[in-house]
Structure formats: structure tokens, C-alpha cells
Amino acid sequence: DVKVTQSSRYLVKRTGEKVFLECVQDMDHENMFWYRQDPGLGLRLIYFSYDVKMKEKGDIPEGYSVSREKKERFSLILESASTNQTSMYLCASRLRAGGQETQYFGPGTRLLVL
């Protein structure tokens, strides 16, 4: 079974702190994603990485950066956390094969910024 793990299920940080959210997948997938999920807004893409050291901005990259130094690990960084970044953060990796694709999601990190 594909496994996508995230470093924390719950996290509480203060405004202005630098926050690291880590995501690890064990299936050698090239593509990885960071989303945030907010009530009434649904899932929104923050960043996408299509390979090691490669990234593309999603719909809401402002206030975030990412790092992909190894294939299995994709990190989301909040440079200076703000209260409007309180959200559920979901990481996913993607398998593409034979014209089909499947995204495998991690369990999510619920971040509260005070």
C-alpha cells in the first residue's frame, strides 16, 4: 500500500514563527502536492513538485515556500506564520500510469496560528 505520512497531525504556532510541515511518501512517486482545506473553500493547491528540486506555484502560494531535496520528501514552509494560515494542510503524491492517475493523500496537519 502507498503510504503518505505527515510530520504532525496537530500543530500550534505563534504569529511570526517559521513553520515546517513535512511530507514523506514511500512509493517513489515523482509528483507531490501541498493543499490547504478550509470550510466553505474546499481544497486549494499551494504548490506542486514534479521532481526533485522542481516546483510550480499553485493557486495560493503567497506566504508559503517549498523544498524538495529528495524524491520522497516534500516540505512546506511558512516563512512567517499568520493567523490566516490557520488551516488543514494536506500533502499528496501522484501516480501516473497508462493514462490514469491517482493521488494519495496524507492524513493532514491541522495548524492553528495564534
Partner 1 sequence: KNEVEQSPQNLTAQEGEFITINCSYSVGISALHWLQQHPGGGIVSLFMLSSGKKKHGRLIATINIQEKHSSLHITASHPRDSAVYICGGGSNYKLTFGKGTLLTVNP
CB-CB contact of 72 with 25 (8 Å): yes
Residues 6 or more apart whose CB falls under 8 angstroms from that of 30 comprise 50, 51, 71, 94
Q: Which of 3, 16, 26, 43 binds partner 1 (CB under 8 A)?
A: 43
Span from 14-22, 38-46, 65-73, 75-83 in contact with partner 1 (CB under 8 A)? 38-46
Bridge partner list, 103: 94
Site for partner 1 in 49-68 (CB under 8 A): 50, 56, 58-59
Based on CB atoms, which residue is closest to partner 1, 50 or 80? Answer: 50
CB of residue 31 vs partner 1: minimum separation in angstroms? 7
Site for partner 1 in 73-102 (CB under 8 A): 88, 90, 92, 94, 99-102
CB of residue 41 vs partner 1: minimum separation in angstroms? 7
Neighbours of 29 (CB within 10 A): 20
Residues 6 or more apart whose CB falls under 8 angstroms from that of 39 comprise none
